[in-house]
Chains A and B, each alone.
Chain A
Amino acid sequence: DQQVKQNSPSLSVQEGRISILNCDYTNSMFDYFLWYKKYPAEGPTFLISISSIKDKNEDGRFTVFLNKSAKHLSLHIVPSQPGDSAVYFCAASVIGGSQGNLIFGKGTKLSVKP
C-alpha cells in the first residue's frame, strides 16, 4: 500500500512557464516532507523540504506547498528551465522517527521544452 503517491508519471512544460508537481500521502503521522531531483545516471539530490508546521516554503524558483487537511503537497517551479528536466521524487517521514523511515513516491519525470 503506497503511503506516498505521485500520480503523474510524467509532465511536460514549456520553458518559462510554471511546473507543478503533485504528491499525496495517506499517513497522517507524516510531518516532514522533502523533494529530491534526479538526473539520469546520477543519484538524487535534495531540493527543498517542508515541515508540517508550515504551509509554504520557498527557495528561489522552487516553492513547496503543503495542505495538511487534504494530505497533499505540491512543488512549483517558476520559471521552468530546460535544466529542470529530471525525475522528481516526493518523500515523507515522521520527524524524530526511526531511521530509514523516509518513504518515497514513484517519481514524476519533468520535461521542460525550450
Chain B
Amino acid sequence: DVKVTQSSRYLVKRTGEKVFLECVQDMDHENMFWYRQDPGLGLRLIYFSYDVKMKEKGDIPEGYSVSREKKERFSLILESASTNQTSMYLCASSFLQGRQEKLFFGSGTQLSVL
C-alpha cells in the first residue's frame, strides 16, 4: 500500500513563527503536492513538485514556499505564519496509471495559528 506520512496531525503556532510541515512518501512517486482544505472552499493546490529540486506554484502559493531535496520528501514552509493560514494541510503523491494520474493523500496536518 502507498503510504504518505505527514509528520504532525495537529500543530499550534503563533503569528510570525516560521512553520515547517513535512511529508514523506514511500512509493518512489515522482510527483508530490501540498493542498489546503478549508470549509466551503474544498481542496486548493498550494505547490507541487514533479522532481527533486523542482517546484511549481499552484493556485494559492502566496505566503508559502516548498523544498524537495530528496524524492521521497516534500516540505511546506510558512515563512511567517498568519492567522489566515489556519487550515487543514494535505500532502499527496501521485503516479501515472496509463496516462491517468491518481493522487494518494496523507492524513493531514491541522494547523492553528494564534
> Interface on A for B, CB 8 Å cutoff?
6, 9, 32, 34, 36, 38, 41-46, 49, 51, 89, 93, 95-96, 99-100, 102, 104-107
Contact = CB atoms under 8 A, between A and B. Distances in A.
Interface in B2-30: 4, 9, 30
A104 B107 contact: no
A96 B99 contact: yes
Interface string B29-41: 0110101010011
Contact of B48 (A38, A99, A105): A99
A31 to B, nearest CB: 9
A45 B105 contact: yes
A42 B108 CA distance: 6
A41 B42 contact: no
Nearest to B4: A43
B106 A100 contact: no
Nearest to B97: A49
Nearest to A97: B101
A86 to B, nearest CB: 13
Given A43-B4, A100-B56, A9 B40 contact: yes
A46 B104 contact: yes
22 contacts: A32-B101, A34-B102, A36-B103, A38-B37, A41-B107, A43-B91, A43-B106, A43-B107, A44-B43, A44-B103, A45-B105, A51-B100, A95-B99, A95-B100, A99-B30, A99-B31, A99-B50, A99-B56, A99-B94, A99-B101, A100-B33, A106-B41
Given A43-B4, A93-B101, A100-B58, 19 more contacts: A6-B42, A34-B102, A36-B105, A42-B107, A42-B108, A43-B105, A46-B104, A49-B102, A99-B94, A99-B101, A100-B33, A100-B45, A102-B101, A104-B35, A104-B44, A105-B42, A106-B41, A106-B42, A107-B43
Contacts of B108: 41-43
Interface string B83-97: 000000011101000
Contacts of B102: 34, 46, 49
